[in-house]
């Protein structure tokens, strides 16, 4: 955990990487808590892209009106290959300093935190991170902003799909987001009563899934739902459906939920989490702490050094997949 000595007067806030429901609630907390501490607060548009292009403007209390319930991010977001180069980071740091900003709050995921850590390491720009990603794959925090909303959005869709599956005695494969992370899949699978859950870190195989479905049908079960994380790119569900058809002759319908999981109004849990984390980030900067992420450990907020966050991998709760398998019998 790093510390800096300068008394801050101006802070900046930006969102980076994939958007997540609740980011606006975090922005709102940063701005209003910052202003309550007599700080000037600036919004940086389009993440690191806007930082390099000097898209920086002051934010006032009224700018935060009626945004807590909105999905997405009013500051926009983006990904930048230029910022990955030293000259890009130097330009961004110079723009931040030119405005007079003393410290930053970064709302984003793992890649965003790598950039934030580099700003401190290379240019001594103090940054505190707030984890905002639906994937919930950030080391050092039990929960990330947007995860609860994404799970509930996917669960609502799966409940509807199950009605159709039961009506037609069908097998459905539902693909949720997550890339290399299986957190959405494991939580949705357990909550939605899925018969099988495929994630990058679980040992579920097509043969095992077929055996379980066949056994379930022998016991009189006429419909089944399989949940899969998308993997490196969307469409893994089609590969699974094809493999199941070739090995068993069973026809599986595919439903890819896609980016609807990122959108929509954040749940109460995400609004509260984002508000607490945003406020804690400002408090950390006010006390001279930086190069850390605000995380959760149970219900408690903690500070985790960004180098630990970016160097470690958060493990999925495989016990949830095992429990889902038992309960779906």
Candidates 166, 137, 138, 131; CA nearest to 253 is 166
List beta partners, residue 296.
Answer: 301
The Cα 12–Cα 34 span in angstroms is 10
End-to-end CA separation in angstroms for the chain: 47
Q: Looking at the annotation, which residues are catalytic?
A: 135
The Cα 21–Cα 146 span in angstroms is 5
The Cα 131–Cα 26 span in angstroms is 10
Residues in CB range of 90: below 8 A, 6 or more apart: 122, 123
Residues in CB range of 194: below 8 A, 6 or more apart: 158, 174, 188, 225, 226, 227, 324, 328
């Amino acid at each position: 955990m790093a510390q800096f000595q300068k008394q801050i007067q101006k802070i900046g806030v930006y969102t980076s990487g994939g958007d997540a429901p609740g980011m606006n609630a975090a922005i709102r907390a940063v701005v209003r808590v910052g202003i309550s501490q007599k700080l000037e607060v600036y919004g940086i548009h389009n993440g690191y892209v806007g930082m390099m292009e000097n898209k920086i403007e002051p934010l006032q209390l009224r700018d935060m009106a009626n945004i807590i319930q909105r999905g997405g991010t009013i500051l926009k977001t983006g990904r930048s290959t230029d910022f990955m180069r030293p000259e890009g980071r130097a330009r961004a740091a110079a723009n931040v300093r030119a405005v007079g900003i003393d410290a930053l709050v970064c709302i984003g995921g793992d890649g965003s935190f790598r950039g934030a850590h580099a700003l401190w390491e290379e240019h001594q720009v103090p940054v505190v991170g707030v984890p905002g990603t639906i994937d919930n794959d950030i080391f050092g925090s039990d929960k990330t902003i947007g995860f609860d909303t994404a799970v509930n959005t996917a669960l609502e869709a799966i409940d509807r799909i199950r009605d159709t599956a039961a009506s037609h005695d069908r097998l459905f494969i539902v693909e949720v987001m997550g890339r290399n992370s299986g957190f959405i899949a494991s939580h949705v699978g357990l909550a939605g009563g899925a018969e099988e859950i495929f994630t990058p870190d679980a040992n579920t195989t097509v043969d095992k899934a077929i055996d379980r479905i066949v056994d379930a049908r022998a016991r009189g079960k006429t419909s089944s739902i399989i949940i899969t994380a998308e993997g490196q790119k969307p469409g893994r569900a089609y590969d699974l459906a094809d493999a199941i058809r070739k090995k068993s002759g069973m026809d599986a319908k595919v439903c890819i939920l896609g980016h609807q999981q990122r959108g929509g109004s954040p749940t109460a849990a995400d609004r509260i989490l984002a508000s607490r984390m945003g406020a804690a980030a400002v408090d950390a900067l006010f006390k001279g702490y930086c190069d850390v992420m605000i995380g959760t450990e149970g219900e408690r907020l903690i500070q985790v050094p960004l180098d630990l966050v970016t160097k470690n991998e958060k493990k999925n709760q495989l016990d949830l997949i095992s429990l889902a398998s038992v309960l779906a019998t």
